[in-house]
Structure 1
Amino acid sequence: MPPAVSPLMNASYDGLVQVTELGPLGMITLRGDLSNAALVKAATAVAGVKMPGLRGASCNGDHGILWMSPDEVLVLCPHAEVATAVATLGAALQGQHALVADVSDARAVFALKGAMTREVLAKLTPADMSPEGLPVGELRRTRLAQVAAALWLRDKDEAQVICFRSVADYAFGVLKSAAHPASGVGFF
């Protein structure tokens, strides 16, 4: 199998914040009853982090679990670990009502770093980007300009954004535009 290739070859832009398309990242959709002890045990064992609560993002480096909906989480891991993680989850959930799907190659991930991260995102999403509206560690599924996205703040000055791979170039373009040095409004 050929090696994984990131959608934009790790494109980067420095403006009000640094916008970087992250390289291939392992992403596994896990659907089922999120209160099921076997599902929680399997997901947390693979990711090495605790199961997040409602709208939560529990991450440690390249590993994590993102709450996506009442019956869905996104398990994050290094791309090289995806096949093993999918097999491990599938074996642990055998006979249970659950779905395990590798969606790594269908998504693009961007990192935003800098003191104006909230302001840059606020220009593109209808979601409340204030510290009260989106606390660090809380995930929001929303729109990024004209495309669906999920975003969360890893800390007060760093966010990650996931969108479909097919719109990665568009997403990078609007993030660059919102991060242009002359576009600051000083709201946050």
Structure 2
Amino acid sequence: MWIICAASKRSAKSAIRYFSTPREHASVARLIAKSAASGLLPIRIGTVTLTEETPAAITALMPFAGKPRALSVALKAAHGVAFPGPNRSSAKGGTRVCWSGLDQAFLIGDPAQADLADHAALVDQTDAWAVLHLEGEDAAEVLARLTPISLSRDSFKRGHAARSLLGHMTALIIRTGAQGFTILIFRSMAATATHELDVAMRGVAARAALQPPP
């Protein structure tokens, strides 16, 4: 089935394809779920690869007054990770917990266990964020073109996290390894972030190509 806007009837290119499912003598649109960077990633340029991660859930955890320690204990028991300190992140298996602001953290991966609500406000943020991963020998150099924070291994170590800028966009940046970074960006900015990182990757690769061989 096709939907054609009144102003666009003359052009078949303006038609929008969608699928419908019969429901009680009417047709109901059946939506097709897509990730934030669907069709844009992965890309590899030079030594760096940019991919998208699609965690099952992203939950904001905000401990109640006097409950941070109790939340950390419950979080450790339920998900294997403790509530992080400022600018810190930790992971176990496919679950990561990451500091995301004053008295707040993101649980990324498995949905939050219901009993955590005894100790904190839980807010589902899954559809609000795009999760990108930058990996490779020159990943830090690529990211350094877009963020003002120091990414040296001495100052921004594995497990460190920072709320900062990626170009003109607010981002949460996590170092996940010696050559790896996970970047959370608002979902609406996924295409722009991908473009900015693509340009930075091309710039770093082009500069490396001009260097004389060792």
Length-normalised TM-score, structure 1: 0.83
Residue 115 of structure 1 pairs with residue 137 of structure 2: yes
**Structure 1 segment 29-40 matched on structure 2, within 5 A:** 29-32=60-63, 33=65, 36-40=68-72
Quick one: which of 89, 96, 102 aligns to 1:64?
Answer: 96
Q: Which moved more, 1:49-58 or 1:107-116?
A: 49-58
- Unaligned runs of at least 5 residues, structure 1: none
CA RMSD of aligned residues (A): 2.4
| Contact map agreement 1:28 1:86 (CA 8 A) in 2 | no
**Residues 53-98 of structure 1 deviation map (CA, whole Å, 9 limit, x = unaligned):** 22111012420110122310111124xxx2xx253322x33xxxx3
1:6/1:61 CA distance change after superposition, 3 Å:
farther
State percent identity of aligned pairs.
28
Which residue number corresponds to residue 15 of structure 1?
45
Which residue number corresponds to residue 86 of structure 2?
54
| Contact map agreement 2:83 2:105 (CA 8 A) in 1 | no
SS in 2 for 1:14: strand
- Unaligned runs of at least 5 residues, structure 2: 1-29
Residue 48 of structure 1, CA deviation: 1.6
Compare CA radii of gyration and give the structure with the larger one.
Answer: 2
Q: Within 2, Cα distance between the matches of 1:159 and 1:176? A: 15
Q: Within 2, Cα distance between the matches of 1:171 and 1:88? A: 35
Which residue number corresponds to residue 169 of structure 2?
147
| Contact map agreement 1:86 1:102 (CA 8 A) in 2 | no
Which residue number corresponds to residue 5 of structure 1?
34
Length-normalised TM-score, structure 2: 0.74
Q: Within 2, Cα distance between the matches of 1:101 and 1:59? A: 20
Q: Within 2, Cα distance between the matches of 1:87 and 1:167? A: 30
1:89/1:123 CA distance change after superposition, 3 Å:
same
- 4+ residue runs over 3 A deviation: 1-5, 183-186
